[in-house]
Amino acid sequence: MKLTGKNYIAGTISSEGKTTFKGINPSDASELPTTFYEATIDEVNEAASKAHEAFAIYRKKSGKEKALFLDTIANEILNLGDVLIERCSAETGLPAGRIVSERARTMGQLKLFATVLREGSWVNARIDTPLLDREPLPRSDFRYMQKPLGAVGIFGASNFPLAFSVAGGDTASALASGCPVVVKGHPSHPGTCELVSMAINKAAEKSNMPKGVFSMVHGASVEVGMAIVMHPQIKAIGFTGSTRGGMAIFNAANNRKEPIPVYSEMGSTNPVFILPEALKERSEEIAKELTDSVTLGAGQFCTNPGLVFLNNDENLQNFQKQTAKHFEETEAKAMLNKGIKSAFDNGIEHLASNKLEVKLLAKGKSSIEGFKGSAHLFETTAKSFILRDYLEEENFGPSTISVIADSKEELLASAKKMKGHLTATLFGTENDLNNYTDLIEILEQKVGRLIINNFPTGVEVCHAMVHGGPFPATSNSRSTSVGTAAIYRFTRPICYQNFPEHLLPEELKTENPLGIMRLVDGEYKR
């Protein structure tokens, strides 16, 4: 299990390029062993062409065969053992415990997709039987189901080196749908990318999958990623990362001769509203939980609560004092890489320099070691929030802004002014919630997940999850990148009209040989 630093292209390893880079330990800024070879454009093209060739075979694999592949990937990731945990922790500065739980989540989502494939009803089969006696014209036989799109390009984020990376949710959902993948390895955790690629290759071999079903190319410059996006045989993109990266890829894909769907999951500030009675009754508890949520993983979660709306009442000052005290006691934590740390510092400086609109209430402990970031708590007014767009922008890291409203009208106006976010949260008693149904109605139009009395960090991988939301949280609000519904990003519907039985896919045959749930003449049945 020795790292080679090479690219994984359709079952072979390759290092034709001259450009190299190294993994960096963000805890002390030291270089890690192994030199990584950035893929050449020829290597990227080879990966995409092989993925396209593999699609002809992989798209016909049964649900059971694909399920076995996904389960085997999960098992092979576990078989990497401590080597994976140690390398991943060294490359990201995230503690081993966090990596172990992220590995469990990564394996869990692969296995969850496997159960969906074995059950089979996800294809959303619909059958309208013929009406031969219909007047004035008879109706033909129509049968509908979801089918995979083709080879998919995947870009993972630095903050989830396993769960949103090489074998993360995007890869799991694309492979589940029947699409081969070409993954752009993240330069912030290249060794982790290689180890997981080894596991996927082993699983592909063991479960008899075509070689081009999986490739991973390294790159520390945008050219590698762009070559994937622009390749004519790539038919969709799954991206998790910054707004800048997500939009660059979205725009490039739309300007292709053949535009393709891009699912960019980008930044979000996840507004939290603490309603009056909840503030009065649970001030201490909420102040502590808020601090924990903002500083968890050095604040590097896309669901980090970056805006906290509060009413300017007699309980406000006490809450702010409690929260400030918790922030001040927080240790500085390693951020994922130099770029993220310096973007965070610039964001803090920008907020702190706008003294007329923003007040720094508290700063956590600091450290000059590696790329460590300190917690920051700011305060502004709803009046400023409504006027100034920069107050709604994500500052990726352990910071949050309290937004103080002088009236309920100001609170509602702030919510109305908001752009799209992944989540919005309300803390409230039953009474509070009944008094703020108008706020809930506004927020329903702004986010993908609406939460009551829980903080938004922690995204459950389940059937009912939505990890998405209106722009600019994502480039496509009609989807989710977490949970089993993520599979539909990489499929399209097809209708078979008047087909003879023997030419129909198993899912649509009249006797329902797979026993799946189908909508037959308007009625759901197996």
Query: Which positions are catalytic?
Result: 265, 302
Q: In the set 37, 69, 155, 455, which binds ligand NAP (CB under 6 A)?
A: 155
Under the criterion CB under 6 A, does residue 391 sit at the interface with ligand NAP? no
CB of 515 to ligand NAP, least distance (A): 35
Q: Which is nearer to ligand NAP, 242 or 311 (CB)?
A: 242
Give the burial class of 223: count Cβ atoms within 10 A of its Cβ; 0-12 exposed, 13-18 middle, 19 or more buried: middle
Query: How far is the C-alpha of 463 from the C-alpha of 488, rounded, in Å?
Result: 12
Under the criterion CB under 6 A, does residue 266 sit at the interface with ligand NAP? yes
Under the criterion CB under 6 A, does residue 270 sit at the interface with ligand NAP? no
Q: Which is nearer to ligand NAP, 184 or 363 (CB)?
A: 184
Stretch that binds ligand NAP, among 28-36, 49-57, 234-242, 487-495 (CB under 6 A): 234-242
Under the criterion CB under 6 A, does residue 400 sit at the interface with ligand NAP? no
- Compose the 480-499 pattern: x for residues touching ligand NAP by CB under 6 A, - for all others: -x------------------
Q: DSSP letters of 499-524? A: --GGGS-GGGSTT-TT---EEETTEE
N residues, the chain: 526
Under the criterion CB under 6 A, does residue 267 sit at the interface with ligand NAP? yes
- Output the CA–CA distances (angstroms, integers) from residue 462 to 98, 108, 112, 425, 517, in the order listed: 20, 10, 8, 19, 19
Query: How far is the C-alpha of 455 from the C-alpha of 295, rounded, in Å?
Result: 12
SS (H, E, C) 304-340: CCCEEEEECCCCHHHHHHHHHHHHHCCCCEECCCHHH
CB of 522 to ligand NAP, least distance (A): 36
- Output the CA–CA distances (angstroms, integers) from residue 524 to 335, 385, 501, 519, in the order listed: 50, 48, 21, 4
Query: How far is the C-alpha of 390 from the C-alpha of 306, rounded, in Å?
Result: 12
Enter the tokens of residue 104.
């469990």
CA 28 to chain centre: 28
Q: In the set 105, 126, 184, 231, which binds ligand NAP (CB under 6 A)?
A: 184
Looking at residues 185 to 214 of the shown chain, list those that interact with ligand NAP (rule: CB under 6 A): 186-187
Q: In the set 219, 238, 276, 420, which binds ligand NAP (CB under 6 A)?
A: 219
Stretch that binds ligand NAP, among 6-14, 66-74, 243-251, 284-292 (CB under 6 A): 243-251
Under the criterion CB under 6 A, does residue 242 sit at the interface with ligand NAP? yes
Under the criterion CB under 6 A, does residue 299 sit at the interface with ligand NAP? no
Q: Do 268 and 474 meet the contact criterion of CB atoms below 8 Å apart?
A: no
Under the criterion CB under 6 A, does residue 250 sit at the interface with ligand NAP? no
Beta-strand relationship, 30-37 and 20-25:
antiparallel
Under the criterion CB under 6 A, does residue 240 sit at the interface with ligand NAP? yes
Under the criterion CB under 6 A, does residue 302 sit at the interface with ligand NAP? yes
Q: In the set 129, 221, 251, 342, which binds ligand NAP (CB under 6 A)?
A: 221
Of 467, 425, 416, 483, the closest CA to residue 446 belongs to 416
Q: Which is nearer to ligand NAP, 63 or 185 (CB)?
A: 185
CB of 201 to ligand NAP, least distance (A): 20
Q: Which is nearer to ligand NAP, 100 or 222 (CB)?
A: 222
Stretch that binds ligand NAP, among 218-226, 313-321, 368-376, 426-434 (CB under 6 A): 218-226
CA angle 356, 358, 364 (to 5 degrees): 140
Written as one letter, the residue type at 125 is: A
Q: In the set 178, 191, 225, 373, which binds ligand NAP (CB under 6 A)?
A: 225
CB of 394 to ligand NAP, least distance (A): 6
Q: DSSP letters of 209-242? A: --GGGEEEE--SSHHHHHHHHH-TTEEEEEEES-
CB of 498 to ligand NAP, least distance (A): 43
Q: Which is nearer to ligand NAP, 194 or 265 (CB)?
A: 265
Query: How far is the C-alpha of 330 from the C-alpha of 302, rounded, in Å?
Result: 20
Under the criterion CB under 6 A, does residue 159 sit at the interface with ligand NAP? yes
Q: Do 232 and 52 meet the contact criterion of CB atoms below 8 Å apart?
A: no
Under the criterion CB under 6 A, does residue 265 sit at the interface with ligand NAP? yes
Q: In the set 164, 250, 319, 436, which binds ligand NAP (CB under 6 A)?
A: 164
Under the criterion CB under 6 A, does residue 297 sit at the interface with ligand NAP? no
Looking at residues 68 to 97 of the shown chain, list those that interact with ligand NAP (rule: CB under 6 A): none
Under the criterion CB under 6 A, does residue 248 sit at the interface with ligand NAP? yes
- Give the Cβ contact number of residue 31 at 10 Å: 11
Looking at residues 414 to 433 of the shown chain, list those that interact with ligand NAP (rule: CB under 6 A): 422
Q: In the set 25, 104, 119, 245, which binds ligand NAP (CB under 6 A)?
A: 245
SS (H, E, C) 157-208: CCCCCCCCCCCCHHHHHHHHHCCCEEEECCCCCHHHHHHHHHHHHHHHHHCC
| Helix or strand holding residue 111 (H, E) | helix 96-119
> Which residues contact ligand NAP (rule: CB under 6 A)?
155, 157-160, 164, 184, 186-187, 219-222, 225-226, 240-242, 245, 248-249, 265-267, 302, 340, 394, 396, 422, 467, 481
